[in-house]
Amino acid sequence: TIAELEQLEQLACEVARAAGELIVGERPERLGVAATKSTATDVVTVMDRRSEELLRTRLEEARPADGVLGEEGSATSSRSGITWVVDPIDGTVNYLYELPGYAVSVAACTGDVHTPGQWEAIAGAVLNPSTGELFHARTGGGAFLEYAGRTTRLHVTKQADLAFSLIGTGFGYDPGKRRRQAAIVLDLIPQIRDIRRAGSAAVDLCSVAAGRLDGYYESGLNPWDLAAGWVIVTEASGVVRGVAGGPPSSDLVVAGCPEQVAALSPLVDR
C-alpha cells in the first residue's frame, strides 16, 4: 500500500541520516584500512562495519520481520517479503582519503535479492554526508532531493545524443575487469562530451536522477551499490538496465533516460 511504501521510504531516510552522522561524527582521527576484501584496492574501514551495525540494528528494531543484506556481511532472511539492501559506506576509498563523494545507501527491496531479475527496490534513500544531500524515492511517489531544508523533485535529463552527454562510470576492484573497463573508456571518450569517475555508484545514480549526469554505466556492481539508486533513477523518469536491456546485474548497469540508455548500452555492453 501507499502508506507502507511511505513508511519504508521514511525509515530509509531516517537510518541513512543516522549512519551518515556516525561515519562523519565518529570518524577516527587516523582511519586505517581494517581489511581488504576481493583485492588490495577493495578496502573496508572500521567505520563501514560500525555503520552497517547501526543500520542493521535500527532496521531490525523498526521492522523485525524484514531481512537485511549488507556489504559488510549482514544477511538475515526475510519473513515479511521485504529485504533491506544496505551499503554502509558506498565509496569507501573516497571516505578513506577524506575525498568528498561517498554515501550511505539504504533500500527496501522485494523478491530474491541474490538473483538478478528476481528483485526490485521499492523505496530507498542515499545520503551524501559531504554535501548534506539526501536523495530518496518510493515506487510511484517520485524522486526527491532534500538539501538545506528544501525539497526538490528530481528528473533525469532528456539527452539522447551521446556527443552532448556527460557520462559517469566506475571501475570495480577486479584487476582483469578493470582492464576491460578501461578499454571501453578509450572507445567512449571520443564519442561523448566527457566522462566522470566520482567514486560512489550510489552517488552516480543519484546524479543521473538529478540531471547532473546524462548517463551512467558500470560492471561489477553489487546489489547494495545499486538498490537505492535504482528506485531513485526510476522515479526521476529514468531507467536502469543491464545486459541486452535486461535487468541490472553485476554484469552491467546502465542508467539514464530511456533514449540515453538505448544509445549508451551498445557501446558499453560487452
Which residues define the annotated binding site for Mg(2+)? 71, 87, 89-90, 225
| 188 neighbors 216 (Cβ within 8 angstroms) | no
Binding mask 49-88 for ligand IPD (x = CB under 6 A): ----------------------x---------------x-
| 91 neighbors 197 (Cβ within 8 angstroms) | no
* Sequence-separated (6 or more) residues with CB below 8 Å from residue 115: none
Restricted to residues 173-232, the positions that interact with ligand IPD (CB under 6 A) are 199-201, 218, 220-221, 225
Nearest approach, Cβ of 145 to ligand IPD (angstroms)? 19
Whichever of 108 and 228 has its CB closer to ligand IPD, that residue is 228
Does 133 sit near ligand IPD (CB under 6 A)?
Answer: no
- Of the candidates 260, 239, 235, 233, which has an alpha carbon nearest to the alpha carbon of residue 158? 260
- Of the candidates 205, 223, 233, 265, which has an alpha carbon nearest to the alpha carbon of residue 84? 223
> In b/e form, how buried is each residue of 215-230, taking b as 16+ CB within 10 angstroms?
bbbbbbbebbbbbbbb
Q: Please state, in angstroms and rounded to a whole number, the distance separating the CA atoms of residues 33 and 240.
A: 32
Nearest approach, Cβ of 172 to ligand IPD (angstroms)? 4
DSSP secondary structure string for all residues of 156-168: ------GGG-EEE
Whichever of 170 and 215 has its CB closer to ligand IPD, that residue is 170
Nearest approach, Cβ of 43 to ligand IPD (angstroms)? 8
Whichever of 223 and 238 has its CB closer to ligand IPD, that residue is 223
Residue in the structure block whose three cell numbers are 550510489: 202
Nearest approach, Cβ of 31 to ligand IPD (angstroms)? 14
Binding mask 223-252 for ligand IPD (x = CB under 6 A): --x---------------------------
Whichever of 155 and 180 has its CB closer to ligand IPD, that residue is 180
Number of residues forming the site for ligand IPD (CB under 6 A): 15
| 133 neighbors 146 (Cβ within 8 angstroms) | yes
Whichever of 66 and 204 has its CB closer to ligand IPD, that residue is 204
Does 92 sit near ligand IPD (CB under 6 A)?
Answer: yes
Grid cell in block for residue 14: 531516517
Q: How many CB atoms are located within 10 Å of the residue 51 CB?
A: 29
DSSP 46: H
Whichever of 220 and 256 has its CB closer to ligand IPD, that residue is 220
Contact residues for ligand IPD, defined by CB under 6 A: 71, 87, 90-92, 170-172, 199-201, 218, 220-221, 225
